[in-house]
Amino acid sequence: MELLPRQQAQFERVKGIIEDTYRRYGFTALDTPVIEASEVLLAKAGGETEKQIYRFEKGDSDLSLRFDLTVPLAKYVALHYNELSFPFRRYQIGKVYRGERAQRGRFREFYQADIDIIGDGSLDIINEAEIPAIIYHTFTALGLNRFQIRVNNRKLLNGFYAMLGWEHRAGDIMRTVDKLPKIGAEKVGLMLHDDLGLDQDAVGDIVAFMAISGSNQEVLSALEGYRGRNEVFDQGLDELNTVVKYLSDFGVPQENFAVDLTIARGLDYYTGTVYETFMLDHPEVGAICSGGRYDNLGSYYTEKQLPGVGIAIGLTRLFYVLQEQGMLNGDLPTAPCDVLVLPMTEDLSPAISFATACRSAGVRAQLYTEPKKFKAKMNYADKIGVPYVAFLGEDEAANGVVSLKDMVSGNQEKVALVDAPHWLLERVAEKNRGQVVTG
Amino acid sequence: MELLPRQQAQFERVKGIIEDTYRRYGFTALDTPVIEASEVLLAKAGGETEKQIYRFEKGDSDLSLRFDLTVPLAKYVALHYNELSFPFRRYQIGKVYRGERAQRGRFREFYQADIDIIGDGSLDIINEAEIPAIIYHTFTALGLNRFQIRVNNRKLLNGFYAMLGWEHRAGDIMRTVDKLPKIGAEKVGLMLHDDLGLDQDAVGDIVAFMAISGSNQEVLSALEGYRGRNEVFDQGLDELNTVVKYLSDFGVPQENFAVDLTIARGLDYYTGTVYETFMLDHPEVGAICSGGRYDNLGSYYTEKQLPGVGIAIGLTRLFYVLQEQGMLNGDLPTAPCDVLVLPMTEDLSPAISFATACRSAGVRAQLYTEPKKFKAKMNYADKIGVPYVAFLGEDEAANGVVSLKDMVSGNQEKVALVDAPHWLLERVAEKNRGQVVTG
């Protein structure tokens, strides 16, 4: 995905807001290398990953490009274990590389925006309860409101399948149940019976369990009916209760959050709370943010037990979708500068001094001195979408003022040179006040 | 170069300040791909580049990792020519890849921070005059003051060698003259005579020319003595005069700028003003920012004539040097958060609500709920270097206050819960006020 300047400005805004939100939650920046030894990246990779990875030799080294941000994190934490403080909270917004066949909305080089909280030996459940708050505040800071964070707990599922005596096939059952939204309960029931060999009672129990829905309190109450039959289940239910209990303290409204027993998130890696976030008006997009709790970040790199919880936003994909759906706020300025300074005199000193003053004040200023006709200059201003143009002619110079034209309203005002940078700063801030996403 | 969290925080600061300065000068963000078709990247690359590049095959594609940000820019501008407005001003801060043998301070994966201004057919000289202002304000914004921007003009050199009748060997002469600071005038003179076959008169003229020094006005006056003998020289001198003339309007003090006739910057690419910036107390580091004017960005990608001017800061290398020299300001906070919130009650609601309020106000807050002894918690706060710790016990909760401890001074204060986020915001801003580089 290669963006034109105005799109890139929107992308930078989206990226900046995600980064700012992650930082407010106390995550530290990390910037692991893109190139790693293949043996590091592929230590626990499966066949699909091996096929997609960019791998090459340089001198005697067998190298690869990272395909996610989690594997490099595992290596980093293992390598620097003694220098880090735990819980270790890091964010990383960076590109990852997968040699997928190019298709609409899929890119071989794309940004992910990850956070992870890594404990040393243990990690308090409150960290899992905090994740929905981070997801919620990230998306609302962007301006997105119509989304839902769906949460489940893997212990609850594992415990439930253990109650039925089917814990040894829990992975296969989850994979089948995953198809529920697509093929419906009846077909899932048939597959559980025919393909996996579950008896009708177990199938009935599973279908009934997955049908539990309603408000968070209703779902949690229904789950209480299963308590006492399996220790792992009970623990999962306690964890889920804790996550829900602190939602409002974390500032997450009920309507953006749902306990959803059909969420499973892959197979082996996740071991506790799992999260998937969907856009309510665009379910076809799939999850825009996913993650969960895991018991061990890096058993391939260290003997230490490093449990954690993390989420990832597929930033490039999210931006692509927002753009496709027309959800980016077109009213926000995307020009490279806030003011285009047009000198109207032979001596450029007044214009240069004014641009310098603007820049010192934090106003993004561009001098335009190409020898073009006035119309061509204004055309340039229009094309880059600059909010203000500053004219500095003999008249203005003599009176210590500058003419400032609002390119949206067309209004033009003379402002004292000394006041103009601040004048611009205030108005530009106003024009940038809107949210980047609408919907 | 893989950084620990506290170093990474410093790196992010340096990067952020460079980016902010580039933006104030009206440059738009660009983010070209890291992976490109090898034929694109190697279109004009020489043997050295070919050796260093990371190149690999994926499916039917012959791909490489970018080794600079200029070649991808050339391709981008050629490809999107019709959608861009010229002058096109872009910045890019991104990683580039060179398979160099690992050595101190050289990395195979490193950041460059580039700006370029691209014209369509022509580009006004004022753009060349503006570059020293950007360099100056970038480094002073970081806190660096002891540096000098050295400037020359390739037309001046080419014109001068043409006067001597040696324009056909201008490249070889420049390469030899480049050794001046290392081997001295006498040896350079011998090489010009023995290796290149210049007669003693020409050698004497070159040595005399290169010896011109003094204040900018003194150098420019001495150069006037050569005027009228070669058109290209005169044009170069006019350009140099313009660059110097507007320095003070652009806010660049004389002491950070010098006309230096020995600066040449490579061979074919640059055609006008050239720049090299040195740290006065660390000449051994070499140039920390270089660039210049070129007549054509992308003749390999388009028929259009696209003159430009640009500079690059080797950001990873600069950061490495600043770190090595102990020039990074250790007083600035580098913790992942501004306040560590320690709940002292069973019910975590008050602590969570307080953390939520802090985050809404823009204070970076971390909850610490791991079941550890008080001493271990404070030890964690110390180790991450957090500026403030917030205690929320029964007492505080009952009185609607929070105890805030300044971890540097050790002072502890009770502040009303509603006022605390703003209280922290002000004090944290104060602690972050210093400059990232000292010296």
- Rounded CA-CA distance A259/A244 in Å is 8
A99, closest residue in chain B (CA to CA): B58
- Rounded CA-CA distance A148/A69 in Å is 25
> Contact at 8 Å (CB) between A150 and A274?
no
Question: What are the strands of the beta sheet with B388-392, ordered from one edge?
Answer: B365-367, B339-343, B388-392, B401-406, B412-416
3-class secondary-structure state, position B208: helix
What pLDDT is recorded for position B103? 66
* Residues in CB range of B76: below 8 A, 6 or more apart: A2, B30, B32
Share of chain B above pLDDT 70, in %: 98
> Contact at 8 Å (CB) between A296 and A305?
yes
- Rounded CA-CA distance B355/B336 in Å is 14
Distances (CA, A) of A108 to A244, A285, A287, B424: 37, 18, 19, 43
Average per-residue pLDDT for chain A: 94
* Chain A contact probe: residue of B88, B92, B108, B249 with most A CBs at under 10 A: B249
For residue B360, list chain A residues with Cβ-Cβ distance below 8 A: 251
Q: Residue B351: which region, alpha, beta or left (left: phi > 0; alpha: psi -120 to 50)?
A: alpha
- What's the gap in Å between the CA of B291 and the closest CA on chain A? 20
Res. A103: pLDDT tops 70: no
3-class secondary-structure state, position B285: helix
For residue B251, list chain A residues with Cβ-Cβ distance below 8 A: 356, 360
B366, closest residue in chain A (CA to CA): A26
Res. A20: pLDDT tops 80: yes
What is the average per-residue pLDDT within B317-337? 96
**A148-194 tens-digit pLDDT:** 999 999 999 999 999 999 999 988 998 899 888 889 999 999 999 99
What is the average per-residue pLDDT within B52-57? 92
Query: How many Cβ pairs closer than 8 A exist between chain A and B?
Result: 182
3-class secondary-structure state, position B52: helix
Asked if A2 lies within 8 A of B32 by C-beta distance, the reply is yes
What is the average per-residue pLDDT within B91-96? 97
* Residues in CB range of A430: below 8 A, 6 or more apart: none
What is the average per-residue pLDDT within A229-256? 97
Asked if B5 lies within 8 A of A251 by C-beta distance, the reply is no
Res. B220: pLDDT tops 70: yes
Minimum-distance CB partner of B380 among A85, A367, A368: A85
Res. B279: pLDDT tops 90: yes
- What's the gap in Å between the CA of A418 and the closest CA on chain B? 15
What is residue A250's DSSP assignment? T
Asked if A249 lies within 8 A of B362 by C-beta distance, the reply is no
Question: What are the strands of the beta sheet with B270-279, ordered from one edge?
Answer: B28-29, B88-97, B109-118, B308-314, B287-294, B270-279, B147-153, B257-259
Minimum-distance CB partner of A26 among B56, B108, B336: B336
Minimum-distance CB partner of B124 among A95, A370, A384: A370
Minimum-distance CB partner of A8 among B8, B30, B109: B30
Closest CA to B421 of B363, B372, B369: B363
**A402 CB-contact burial (10 Å; exposed 0-12 / middle 13-18 / buried 19+):** buried
* Chain B contact probe: residue of A1, A17, A21, A24 with most B CBs at under 10 A: A24
* Chain A contact probe: residue of B359, B363, B372 with most A CBs at under 10 A: B359
* Residues in CB range of B322: below 8 A, 6 or more apart: B14, B328, B437
What pLDDT is recorded for position B104? 67
Minimum-distance CB partner of B5 among A28, A122, A368: A28
Which of A41-45, A300-304, B102-106, B155-159 has the largest mean confidence?
B155-159
**B208-219 tens-digit pLDDT:** 999 999 999 999
Tokens read off for B22: 């580039």
For residue B249, list chain A residues with Cβ-Cβ distance below 8 A: 348-349, 352-353, 356
Minimum-distance CB partner of A109 among B28, B34, B246: B34
What pLDDT is recorded for position B29? 98
What is the average per-residue pLDDT within A323-338? 96
What pLDDT is recorded for position B19? 98
pLDDT band of A354, cuts 50, 70, 90: very high
- Rounded CA-CA distance B153/B273 in Å is 4
pLDDT band of A130, cuts 50, 70, 90: very high
Res. B45: pLDDT tops 70: no
* Residues in CB range of A421: below 8 A, 6 or more apart: A357, A358, A360, A361, A363
pLDDT band of A268, cuts 50, 70, 90: confident
Minimum-distance CB partner of B352 among A76, A119, A250: A250
Asked if A87 lies within 8 A of B370 by C-beta distance, the reply is yes
**B146-160 tens-digit pLDDT:** 999 999 999 999 999
Q: Would you state the torsion angle of the CA atoms of residues A97, A105, A147, B352, taken in this order, to the nearest 10 degrees?
A: 20
What is the average per-residue pLDDT within B254-270? 87
Asked if B246 lies within 8 A of A59 by C-beta distance, the reply is no
Q: How far is the first Cα of chain B from the last one, in angstroms, to the nearest whole number?
A: 23
Residues A5-8: contacts with CB under 8 Å, at least 24 apart: A5/A334, A5/A336, A5/B28, A5/B29, A5/B30, A5/B84, A5/B88, A5/B90, A6/A334, A6/A335, A6/A385, A7/A323, A7/A334, A8/B28, A8/B29, A8/B30, A8/B31
Distances (CA, A) of A288 to A298, B187, B301, B402: 25, 66, 37, 37
Minimum-distance CB partner of B99 among A58, A137, A356: A58
Res. B17: pLDDT tops 90: yes
Asked if A5 lies within 8 A of B29 by C-beta distance, the reply is yes
Asked if A54 lies within 8 A of B55 by C-beta distance, the reply is no
For residue B65, list chain A residues with Cβ-Cβ distance below 8 A: 35
What pLDDT is recorded for position A303? 86
Residue B303: how many other CB atoms lie within 10 Å = 7
- What's the gap in Å between the CA of B251 and the closest CA on chain A? 7
What pLDDT is recorded for position B107? 84
- What's the gap in Å between the CA of A340 and the closest CA on chain B? 9
Distances (CA, A) of B427 to B60, B337, B355: 58, 13, 17
Minimum-distance CB partner of B31 among A3, A54, A363: A3
Average per-residue pLDDT for chain B: 94
What pLDDT is recorded for position B289? 97
pLDDT band of B268, cuts 50, 70, 90: confident
Residue A382: how many other CB atoms lie within 10 Å = 12
- What's the gap in Å between the CA of A307 and the closest CA on chain B? 13
What pLDDT is recorded for position A49? 79
Res. A59: pLDDT tops 90: no
What is the average per-residue pLDDT within A14-41? 96
**A68-81 tens-digit pLDDT:** 999 999 999 999 99
Residue found under tokens 């061979």 = B267
Lowest mean pLDDT among A22-31, A140-149, B163-172: B163-172
> Contact at 8 Å (CB) between B390 and B357?
no
Supply angle C-alpha A257, A258, A262, rounded to 5.
Answer: 140
ipTM above 0.90, yes or no: yes
**For A255, what's the count of Cα atoms within 13 Å in the CB-facing half-sphere?**
4
Distances (CA, A) of A194 to A168, A197, A208, B300: 17, 6, 18, 63
* Chain B contact probe: residue of A3, A122, A126, A392 with most B CBs at under 10 A: A126
With a threshold of 0.80, does the pTM exceed it? yes
Closest CA to A404 of A396, A414, A394: A414
Start-end of H helices in A89-179: 126-142, 154-163, 170-177
What pLDDT is recorded for position A265? 75
**A288-319 tens-digit pLDDT:** 999 999 999 877 788 899 999 999 999 999 99
3-class secondary-structure state, position B159: helix
Residue B102: how many other CB atoms lie within 10 Å = 8
Res. A105: pLDDT tops 70: no
Res. B171: pLDDT tops 80: yes
- Rounded CA-CA distance A20/A91 in Å is 11
For residue A84, list chain B residues with Cβ-Cβ distance below 8 A: 4-5
